[in-house]
């Protein structure tokens, strides 16, 4: 457990430029405090104590605003930044070097027993207010945008945004966990794509109307029709809607 605590301190120093020293981290970082208490309550949970681990988790919630069920499995080097409103369910599994921001929920669905909360692989970033729900898996080096709601499995090296969460980018490039401004604006891309299609179709309609007027006069129209309209399965629309919804 001491090794895990050292890793938690090291990751805060690495990722938060506001962290100026060990004493400040110990006294002023609720995410770190919540993780330390959780590691104690998780040990007690594993040996089968029925009540004390839950009492500790509720104490943590009162002190830090972060609720972590003692049954949750959390790796080393995890950073809960600010943390107010974070909820982590009983069967959640969080890999090493994950980063969670305030308002994140790693929650369950339904009332079934067994695995019902998400599994985050290593180096996953979950933005502020995002909800990851159900017994789903999120691959390594994945970034989930603020406010997203993720209810399906996500492959490694992905960027997920929207409600419901959609994969909008996927590559083998390791993500920068602090590059929040690099998230794509998928709705703007899709709207721009659709506007381009509308312009193209209106151009074709006008050209056809002009051709019909020429034919009505008994003349032959010139070959001035514009090119084909964009294909429905453009990349941005597939990523935004999902290929299964276009069939």
Alpha helices in 47-185 (DSSP H): 52-64
How far apart are alpha carbons 126 and 171 in whole angstroms? 18
Give the global pTM. 0.69
Residue 141 token pair: 């080096």
Q: Where in the chain is the domain with CATH 2.160.10.10?
A: 2-182
From CA 174, how far away is CA 133, in angstroms rounded? 24
Per-residue pLDDT of the chain (247 residues; tens, 9 = 90+): 777 778 878 888 888 777 788 888 888 888 888 999 999 999 998 888 878 989 998 998 999 899 999 999 998 888 898 888 999 998 999 999 999 999 999 988 877 778 889 999 999 999 888 999 989 999 998 888 888 899 889 888 888 888 877 777 666 555 555 555 556 566 666 777 777 778 788 888 888 888 888 888 777 767 655 555 555 556 666 656 555 544 5
Task: Let me know if domain 2-182 sits in CATH 2.160.10.10.
Answer: yes
């Amino acid at each position: 457990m001491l090794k895990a605590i050292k890793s938690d301190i090291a990751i805060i120093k690495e990722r938060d430029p506001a962290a100026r020293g060990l004493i400040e981290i110990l006294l002023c970082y609720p995410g770190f405090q919540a993780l330390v208490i959780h590691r104690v309550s998780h040990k007690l949970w594993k040996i089968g104590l029925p009540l004390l681990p839950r009492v500790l988790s509720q104490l943590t919630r009162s002190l830090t605003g972060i609720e972590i069920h003692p049954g949750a499995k959390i790796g080393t080097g995890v950073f809960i930044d600010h943390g107010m409103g974070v909820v982590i369910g009983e069967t959640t599994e969080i890999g090493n070097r994950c980063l969670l921001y305030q308002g994140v929920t790693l929650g369950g669905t339904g009332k079934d027993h067994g695995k019902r909360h998400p599994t985050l692989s290593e180096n996953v970033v979950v933005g502020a207010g995002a909800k990851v729900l159900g017994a789903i898996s999120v691959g390594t080096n994945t970034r989930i945008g603020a406010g997203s709601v993720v209810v399906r499995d996500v492959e490694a090296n992905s960027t997920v945004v929207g409600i419901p969460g959609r994969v909008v980018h996927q590559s083998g490039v390791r993500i920068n966990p602090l590059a929040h401004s690099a998230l794509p604006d998928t709705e703007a891309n899709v709207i721009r794509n659709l506007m381009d299609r509308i312009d193209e179709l209106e151009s074709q309609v006008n050209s056809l109307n002009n051709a019909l007027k020429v034919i009505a006069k008994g003349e032959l129209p010139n070959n001035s029709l514009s090119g084909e309209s964009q294909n429905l399965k453009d990349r941005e629309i597939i990523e935004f809607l999902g290929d299964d919804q276009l069939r």
